[in-house]
Structure 1
């Protein structure tokens, strides 16, 4: 079977796809990953075969010298999908202009540069299955052009499927035919010789690497759930991690994107470290070197590192503090460790609440996070056994899902069902 993955030039999104690509590869299938040319090195670093195509048009580079545009991306990535998290925005008045803006902006920036070449390559290579992350609509456009089955591979809460369904409901309620996303995709469908169908928006099926308790499904879609397998790129185990901690270990991260893409953390790292400084714990904090230089004091119980493999650190911890990024939260949940989610935007607030609902941790929006309430939450997570019990249940739920390798026969079956070539 030939499998083509289509992904935006975004490292954090690609990393959600790598384990599935390798599961298919080790099952004997021919797997190739298509993206913009400059992204090929990220793909090949993962040991996968890259197909560089189109032109480079990275939205983060485009907004590098436009702080207001970049800030907008950070707050509402991508509009109008914040309506999924905020019911007050789940209205026609909000979603109609929001969907138009999203179609013109994010989707076209990320997709237009590769669509023509992706269709040309698909017609040459003739994949049986195209896997695409929810922002790469070039994937279903190319799949339909050659009669391949195609599926989304999620990188968090399925805000895309949920908002799409809500949008269609409101279209019918208001008897308003405005559907910029559907019209945009239909234009490409006509160009390449077929008719638009709703699967171009949500896939023939959806691969979901998150457990049911950390996901909200859109009714009527075919979700195929699998176990999360972390991949964070090139990594090395530091020597200090060989030894068991002598005191309760608390890990702290606010993610890589905060400093690699944006202008810093959404909490005061200094306040949090200082508030934890007199507790009888060991704090291991991943803090970018640029942010370390801003700190005025590093407590004696804190170890600061720019990066450490999260899947190796978490099993040694008693509590984990993070930003509720989906990959970080899922990796943490593979071990029975209580979590504190300090969330900020996009699906992070929803993931934080879902986490708290499982009993595996606590959540605080960063607009309310202070050194004092983070300290209080950490003390609760260390002392109250119910959080460890909730974390154990969540880990058991994660581990009960089939691994990507175990899921390959189901993916093969669905490919045969939906492929038309």
Structure 2
């Protein structure tokens, strides 16, 4: 059969879809990925066939705009104001970005590219005639194309955020501000228009949706290369999705990675290699942070030095995955802290007693697949939702980033390390995820769906 994927212009949104694309191809099916031109090269290097016809939706602008809306509604938790949606500079007052600015900028940055994507996806689908369409939460042009052709559409979720979330200030429910769905005569876009979802989550973190669930084991994927900017486990270019790595199609979820990238390391002498048991009796703590969040939230999201100081003050071995710029900003490191660049996270997590991160879906799901207890320090977007569901599962704790000073972070990390219940819950969730169908097994369900 022919399967059309549609993806948004943000790598962290489509990384989770790659293993399913591989599985379909390995089963003999044709796969094409409709994307924005900026995503074409990375998709090709990932082993999928891109069709770069979609609009370039400005995801950074979209996230900044949402932050300004939240601040105007009194839902901004930080002392400083969010960045200006266009320039990225800190706002001096909320009136600095007006409704007139929104109307002008949203037309060029949001409505225009969205309409281009809708029309391009429909045109491509009419010409290529797919039997099935797979899309993600911010690429609803796939659902539109499927409706126009009368073929099934499947929404591939990233993690705990579903189609029917009622999180205040989180705008992830499917909507169509351009009116394209009505223009093509397929009704109004809303959450209930989504009929099938690929759900990679264990029950405790299950996304809210009215759609039929297609459970699939989470297989980590970190991008088309281990080296280079944005592919270092901390990920620049991921909307909170920075914890994936290469994994086999039917693998057990901890990844197969192949030969690891020997990226530069710095820090304490004699530290054990990632992916191996710790070289000392001290527990190992992994700290994962990326600079993509700071582009959307501003300098108040830069809590990495605080986290490192909090962790380094404990009797632990600390491994920080970060890009070169973030690593350099840390300055001189304590003897028990080591920085790794260009390492897939799934190769770092085995042997770790805990992982600290900002609550993005990618690192959250990769840590769940590895069975490692987590401390989430959410900053914005879906990270707060992810953090709350993580804490409710017992497999981790959550401290909002705006409250994450050194004492509070150290206290939470100490509890995570000393309470066996967190490790037990994390291991139980890992076992549950391993029991889910692999991407290869899910292909049979998709074949059946397309044949109806």
Q: TM-score, normalised by structure 2?
A: 0.74
CA contact under 8 A between 2:294 and 2:301: conserved in structure 1?
A: no
Unaligned runs of 5+ in 2: 76-98, 168-173, 227-259, 264-272
1:250 aligns with: 285
Residues 255-274 of structure 1 aligned to structure 2 (within 5 Å): 255=290, 257-258=292-293, 263=298, 266-274=301-309
| Deviation (angstroms), 1:105 | 8.5
Matches within 5 A, 1:19-418: 19-60=19-60, 63=61, 71-73=64-66, 108-162=111-165, 181=176, 184-190=179-185, 195-196=186-187, 202-218=193-209, 220-233=210-223, 234-235=225-226, 236-238=260-262, 240-241=273-274, 243-246=276-279, 247-255=282-290, 257-258=292-293, 263=298, 266-417=301-452
The separation in 2 between residues aligned to 1:306 and 1:73, in whole angstroms, is 31
Query: Post-superposition shift, 1:185?
Result: 3.6
**1: CA distance, partners of 2:446 / 2:64:** 38
Q: CA deviation at 1:295?
A: 2.7
CA contact (8 A) 1:226 1:403 kept: yes
3-state SS in 2 of match to 1:40: helix
The 10-residue stretch of structure 1 (243-252 or 200-209) with the greater mean CA deviation from structure 2 = 200-209
What secondary structure does 2:47 align onto?
A: coil
In structure 1, what is the Cα distance between the partners aligned to 2:326 and 2:107? Answer: 35
Q: Is the 8 A contact 2:297 2:380 kept in 1?
A: no
Provide the secondary structure at the position in 1 that maps to 2:164. Answer: helix
In structure 2, C-alpha distance between the alignment counterparts of 1:151 and 1:35, rounded to whole Å? 17
How far apart are the structure 2 equivalents of 1:76 and 1:214?
A: 27
> 2: distance between equivalents of 1:285 and 1:74?
28
Aligned equivalents of 2:123, 2:213: Cα separation in 1 = 29
The alpha-carbon deviation at position 33 of structure 1 amounts to: 0.4
For the 8 Å contact 1:267–1:369, the answer to whether it is kept is no
Partner of 1:6: 6
Q: CA shift at 1:57, angstroms?
A: 4.6
Question: 1:91 corresponds to which residue?
Answer: none
CA change 1:114–1:268 in 2 (3 A) is closer
**1:113 CA drift (Å):** 2.2
Aligned mates of 1:275, 1:199 — CA distance in 2: 44
Counterparts in 2 of 1:394 and 1:109: CA distance versus 1, 3 Å: farther
**1:174 matched residue in structure 2:** none
Cα offsets for 1:12-71 (capped at 9, x unmatched): 1010111111111111111110111221101101110111114545343xx4xxxxx763
Q: 1:104 to 1:188 in 2, by over 3 A?
A: farther
Mark the runs of 5 or more structure 1 residues left unpaired by the alignment.
Answer: 64-68, 83-96, 165-178
Q: Secondary structure at the match of 2:399?
A: strand
8 Å CA contact retained: 2:135, 2:156: yes
Deviation larger for 263-272 or 104-113: 104-113
Q: 1:10 to 1:189 in 2, by over 3 A?
A: same
- Post-superposition offset of 1:232: 0.8
| Residue correspondences, number | 373
Secondary structure, in 3 states, of the residue corresponding to 2:179? helix
Distance 1:359 1:75, change over 3 A: farther
Shift of 1:9: 1.2
Cα distance 1:186–1:125, how it changes in 2: closer, same or farther (>3 A)? closer
Distance 1:17 1:76, change over 3 A: farther
Instruction: Indicate conservation of the 8 Å contact 1:270/1:297, yes or no.
Output: no
Quickly say closer, same or farther: Cα 1:119–1:329, change in 2 above 3 A.
same
CA distance in 2, matches of 1:312, 1:140: 35
**Deviation per residue, 1:339-360 (Å, 9 max, x gap):** 1111122221121111111111
Return the structure number with greater helix share: 1
Q: Quick one: distance in 1 between partners of 2:107 and 2:284?
A: 47
Is the contact made by 1:76 and 1:345 (CA closer than 8 Å) also made in structure 2?
A: no
1:272 CA displacement: 2.4
Q: Which residue of 1 aligns with 2:256?
A: none
Question: How big is the shift at 1:312?
Answer: 1.1
- 1:236-295 C-alpha deviation (Å, 9 max, x unpaired): 443833653223110001245225766557253223222322422110112332223333
* Gap change, CA 1:248 and 1:162, over 3 Å in 2: closer
Cα RMSD (Å): 3.2
Which residue number in structure 2 is paired with residue 89 of structure 1?
Answer: none
